[in-house]
Amino acid sequence: MAGQIEDYKNQFISGSLKKDIAIFKEIFKNDATLRIKFISARKAVPFDAAIIYIDGMVDSTQLNEAVIEPLIEIEVENDFESLSEYIEKQVLFARDVKVKTEISQILEGILYGEALLLIDNSQNALMLDVKGFRTRGISEPENERITEGPREGFEEAALLNLALLRRKLGTPDLCIELNRVGRRTNTAVFVCYLGTLANPKTLKKIKKALQNINIDGILDTNYIIEEISPHPFSLFKTAGKTERPDIVAARLLEGRIAIIVDGSPMVMTLPYLFCENFQSDEDYYQTFLLGSFGRMIRYFCFALSIFVPALFVAITTLHPEFLPTSFLITVMQQRTAVPFSIVTETMGMILIFEILKETGVRMPQNIGPALSIVGGLVVGQAAVEAKIISAPTLIIVALSGIAGLMLPRLRAAVFYLRILFVLLAALWGLYGLFCGVILMIMHIISIKSYETDYTLTLNRISFQSFKDTIWRAPWHLMRTRPLFNKNITRQRKK
């Protein structure tokens, strides 16, 4: 395609079929998928027309039955003012027909799977909704599997994702606004929210941030997240991502705003709170006792994954007096023939664990589990027997790594914090570790996700503020929504 869509703003079709076809042929001169079908009707009202579309983006059956056949068989007297208006309202059977005159708007439609109908001697072009490109289909997300609850997951087609969301929220209060982002990709980005719940200031700020994005292409939701994130260098996420329609619907019911990017199954939600890193949609599909237990386990695993290696390094190197004598002797005996220091050994094992984890993810599914078993058991046991590493270090790092797998949303934060705390513990022992913890807590408290405090529950400490954080309260007790809503009342007392 020659140039970009914005280059054709304020340019309009001429009304001459020959000239207009030449314009689009020139624009798509290097696109082998462009199709032009000429129609010449010679019944009651003779006219010449042409249909322009991208092959593979339209439903051929619908195009033939809803557009081409009615145009060929058109029969009408010469008592109408505009032939294009008559065809739009009386002849075509497409799902949607829009009248366009500006070339840039026409190009947006063609590139999004619509067909263009040009009629000779008419300056009104008709955009026909006959989309028919293939999609992956609805299936359960691989990375967000649950044992109870809905099995639906978003896919790459934004319109289908919006339909899935609309099924969950059967209310006219659901607002869906279209934006175009990316100079070359011109990607459709939909902003979804409930009008009576979403905070107008937050909504305005998000819309402004989307308009200020100046990048040549948007291929995934993460492009948007990195562009509009208020804390791009923070280890902690300030925007939610999910492939599950039920999670997005639940977030919208709490007054949040969702961003759906065409071409990506990941949907972004804002604002995002720290406690959401430890929540699972399965918590709400089980009893509140079981859901609360699982959530508290995740908080415990977060502390375990980032603190245990650092505590091990600090106590064994600088504070051995904290260990029982028998246990300290056992650790020292295990390390007698190991050539590396505890710090080097721990750091090396952490990196090796991450390599094995990443390799297991990238390898084909039939090889990944076998590779993990070989790397984790065979290589680890052989390294201990060869006195390259000590057994206590292997146990500590493995325990920390397994605990970190419980928190996929904090994967980056867990890895970097684990390394940082080990270094602080190696330099200054428990004092360095405590200082690191204090700095981490201060950083978490200082974060804002679009005018909303990351730790919102600490602003107004009460039962209602903690009802869905560390534990999950029964539904009849969760009477309010988060404080960033226009209307925080979820349900009233009976």
End-to-end CA distance of the chain: 63
Give the pLDDT of the chain (494 residues) as one tens digit per residue. Answer: 456 777 788 888 888 888 989 989 888 888 888 899 888 876 667 788 899 998 888 888 888 888 888 888 776 655 566 777 788 777 887 778 888 888 888 998 888 888 999 888 888 888 988 888 777 777 778 777 777 778 888 988 888 899 889 989 888 889 999 998 988 888 899 999 998 898 888 899 999 999 999 888 899 999 999 888 888 888 898 898 999 999 999 999 988 999 999 989 999 999 998 988 898 888 888 888 888 898 899 999 999 999 999 999 999 888 888 878 887 788 787 777 788 888 988 898 888 888 877 777 777 666 656 666 666 666 777 777 777 888 888 888 888 988 988 888 898 899 999 999 999 999 998 999 999 999 999 999 888 888 788 887 766 666 666 777 888 888 877 777 777 777 777 776 65
For residue 394, what pLDDT is reported? 85
Distance CA 357, CA 373 (A): 11
Distance CA 281, CA 149 (A): 8
Distance CA 37, CA 20 (A): 14
For the stretch 56-60, contacts whose Cβ atoms lie closer than 8 Å and that sit 24 or more positions apart, written own/partner, are 56/133, 57/112, 57/113, 57/131, 57/132, 57/133, 58/113, 58/114, 58/115, 58/130, 58/131, 58/132, 58/133, 59/130, 59/131, 59/132, 60/132
Beta strand 47-54 with 97-100 is unpaired
For residue 366, what pLDDT is reported? 64
Among 129, 117, 87, 124, residue whose Cα is nearest residue 13: 124
Instruction: Report the predicted TM-score, pTM, of the whole model to 2 decimal places.
Output: 0.83
Sign of the Cα pseudo-torsion (280, 282, 285, 286, in order)? negative
Question: Please, are residues 166 and 201 in contact by the beta-carbon 8 Å criterion?
Answer: no
Helices (H), 113-169: 158-168
Tell me whether the omega of the peptide bond preceding residue 271 falls within 30 degrees of 0, making it cis: yes
Place of tokens 């710090």: 343
For residue 301, what pLDDT is reported? 93
For residue 424, what pLDDT is reported? 94
Distance CA 279, CA 470 (A): 9
For residue 3, what pLDDT is reported? 62
Tokens representing 222 are: 């993460």
Residue 233 neighbours by CB distance under 10 Å: 5
Tokens representing 278 are: 């430890």
Distance CA 178, CA 224 (A): 14
Place of tokens 């909704």: 129
Distance CA 40, CA 53 (A): 18
For residue 1, what pLDDT is reported? 45
Residue 345 neighbours by CB distance under 10 Å: 21
Which residues make Cβ contacts (< 8 Å) with residue 70, sequence separation at least 6? 91, 92, 93
Distance CA 257, CA 175 (A): 10
Residue 181, CA distances (Å) to 127, 221, 270, 327 in order: 21, 11, 18, 60
Place of tokens 């934006």: 179
Distance CA 221, CA 227 (A): 10
